[in-house]
Amino acid sequence: MIKHELPSYLQQQSQGPWEVYLEQIDRVTPHLGSLARWIETLKRPKRILIVDVPIERDDGSIAHFEGYRVQHNTSRGPGKGGVRFHQDVSLSEVMALSAWMTVKNAAVNVPYGGAKGGIRVDPRQLSKAELQRMTRRYTSEINIIIGPTKDIPAPDVNTNEEIMAWMMDTYSMNQGSTASGVVTGKPISLGGSLGRQEATGRGVFVIGSECAVRKGLDPNRLRIAIQGFGNVGGVAARLFAESGARVVAIQDHATTIVDEGGLDVAAALEHARRTGSLAGFPGCAHLAKQDEFWDIDCDLLIPAALEQQINAANAGRIKAAIVLEGANGPTTPGADDILADRGILVVPDVIANAGGVTVSYFEWVQDFSSFFWTEEEINARLTRIMRDALASVWQIAEDRGVSLRTAAFIVGCTRVLQAREMRGLYP
């Protein structure tokens, strides 16, 4: 592994997601030909903004939170990426997530660069009024670098369409006019797109089904284990179950539920909506230890929680034919190697979970034109784009004898660096 000299603002941090991303770039560099002369472009974020987010709490006290917005690359278009509210948000994480967005957007060929944002906060500790004040203050602080043609935030971990509405309203008030295109993932009534809320999970379903067929598996008879039961894992679980597949295990932050005969996904979704987790869900086994999730026998394993969940310590335990990355960066490079040696296909995040940003692109286009499409049109266009992107990546993987991740990075990085080379340097 090549050792990298970290920027000064990261030198005190231990190896994290950004270092994982850098290793992935090192692995693709030999496949980029003459474009490799521009490789440092991908190793240095274009712009990093760290902001203080002070709010007045309901009890009159003042609280401060640290917020970030990172624009990794804008060679192919405005920055695009979500905003997450989580107590473990770090600069390394947000940098890596913004970089993966650069590669993802290019791999599926939507005209965006990569960006990401976040606030280090446990939103469960805030009232709704406090959450709104924090969101609006954060939006005001990053107002100087976002905009419909500059950088377009979207929902991510612990953020949703209501938070996007607050962000859009705050930005619009500062601009003096309604700017619906400044964020995506908005409510339908404010210019949101039909199909957006389910888009990431639907894309995971489309890619997973397609990969199963390519591996000689019947997508309607798959046994599936899912880590994460939010907007991505929950939607994917429902769609796979509706197609006839058996969801045999689901893990959320509270528990892991297992039923070899197939879980009642609809009932599990309702239970989680009503209670906040899968804890206490009846009619199935609950594993004593969360770590036992990695020992579950299945055909398709979908990590749809946070990054770096599959690592060198647990990759050898996985009993799946396919690992389908619903989350961003859930597999470390060391785990990638172990899974490859064991003949397990890893479908990388930059293809598998690109449905969300693809429909975000559709939403952005609809906002600009003030002409909105039907949900059937959106789902059909999403399916076509996802399948076409997978076909291109799959062909490169076969032609060059590389993993799907390396192939996806070849496609994405080539497009980004070609744009960089054609634009040249200014001044």
Catalytic residues: 116
3-state secondary structure of 142: helix
| Helix residue ranges per DSSP H, 143-194 | 161-175
Distance CA 230, CA 71 (A): 26
Residue 251 contacts residue 327 (beta carbons within 8 Å): no
Dihedral over Cα of 153, 159, 160, 164: its sign = negative
Per-residue DSSP letter, 192: P
Furthest CA-CA distance within the chain: 65
Residue among 424, 397, 362, 386 at smallest CA distance from 107: 386
**What is the per-residue DSSP string for 16-59?**
-HHHHHHHHHHHHGGGSGGGGGGTHHHHS-SEEEEEEEEEE-TT
Spatial distance between the Cα atoms of 119 and 85, rounded to a whole number of angstroms: 5
Token pair belonging to 314: 């647990």
- Judged by DSSP in three states, 393 sits in helix
Q: Please state, in angstroms and rounded to a whole number, the distance separating the CA atoms of residues 89 and 67.
A: 9
What is d(CA 268, CA 259) in angstroms, rounded to the nearest whole number? 12
Q: Which two tokens stand for residue 23?
A: 């290793």
> Do strands 113-120 and 256-258 pair parallel, antiparallel, or not at all (unpaired)?
unpaired
Closest CA to 94 of 143, 41, 157: 157
Count of beta carbons in the 10 Å neighbourhood of residue 9: 12
Q: What radius of gyration do the chain's Cα atoms show? A: 21
| Cα 309 to Cα 298: distance, rounded to the nearest angstrom | 17
Structure tokens at 11: 């030198």
- Between CA 180 and CA 427 the distance in angstroms is 33
Let me know: does 199 contact 355? Beta carbons within 8 Å: yes
Candidates 379, 350, 362; CA nearest to 198 is: 379
